[in-house]
Amino acid sequence: MEVIKELNNITLPEDFNIKYINENEFNERDVRKAIELYEKDKRENSYKELKFTIFGDTSAWKRAVHLKTHVFDPNVVVKNDTRMEVYRQLELLGYSNFIPVTGEVHLDLDVYRPIPKATPKYKKLLMEAGVIRPIIKPDTDNYIKLLSDTLNNILFKDDAQIVSEPVDKYYSFCPRMEFKIRFKELYLF
């Protein structure tokens, strides 16, 4: 389907991609207001980005176990350590009184798993270079779920605010988790 280039006889900005819409539903005032806010959002460059690195073995992350009387979360220690490290890094970045974001959040995660000890040396170099990547468990969605649950009420109010979450797994001699969040610092809408 072709992208709509004109709505109510108003030419839309080139990168204002509208594909599926009933053109008769919107009047000229609605279209002009949407274009005005869209262009203001682009001009203001309202996104803020924060980067974090959590060092340690990432292969120990596990799902919660549902017992008869309660739920046992084997990740409590990992979650608490991650929270403490995020607070420490926020303070180093000058955000000691950071208020969790309430708008949209983009979360990018890179997980660097430890290189298995029994791997031949030439493969270890290829793993560190990112040529050979992990295709073993845990799955990427387990990493993102654990991290997003851990960061609730710290960096954002709720993990439902996350609108994009690309995750990459790598091997490294220095196991760690690197993530960044992008959010709108100025909410223009």
pTM value is: 0.79
| Digit-coded pLDDT (tens) for 111-133 | 999 999 999 999 999 999 999 99
Per domain, the residue ranges of the chain are 6-44, 47-184
Burial degree of 171 (CB within 10 A; 0-12, 13-18, 19+): buried
Instruction: Give the CATH class of 47-184.
Output: alpha beta
Write down the pLDDT at residue 18. Answer: 78
- At residue 188, the pLDDT reads 57
Average confidence (pLDDT) over 81-110:
92
* Mean pLDDT of the 72-87 span: 85
Whether 69 has a pLDDT exceeding 70, the answer reads: yes
pLDDT at res. 61: 65
* E strand spans, 47-136: 47-55, 65-66, 71-72, 105-114
Confidence of residue 19 (pLDDT cuts 50, 70, 90): confident
d(CA 55, CA 82): 9
pLDDT, averaged across the chain: 86
Q: Is the pLDDT of residue 74 over 80?
A: no
In this prediction, residue 189 carries a pLDDT of 55
How many Å separate Cα 63 from the centre of its chain? 20
Q: What are the pLDDT digits (tens) for 161-175?
A: 999 999 999 999 999
What single-letter amino acid sits at 158? Answer: D
176-184 and 105-114 beta bridge pairing: antiparallel
Of 89 and 73, more confident: 89
Q: In whole angstroms, what is the distance from residue 187 CA to residue 189 CA?
A: 6
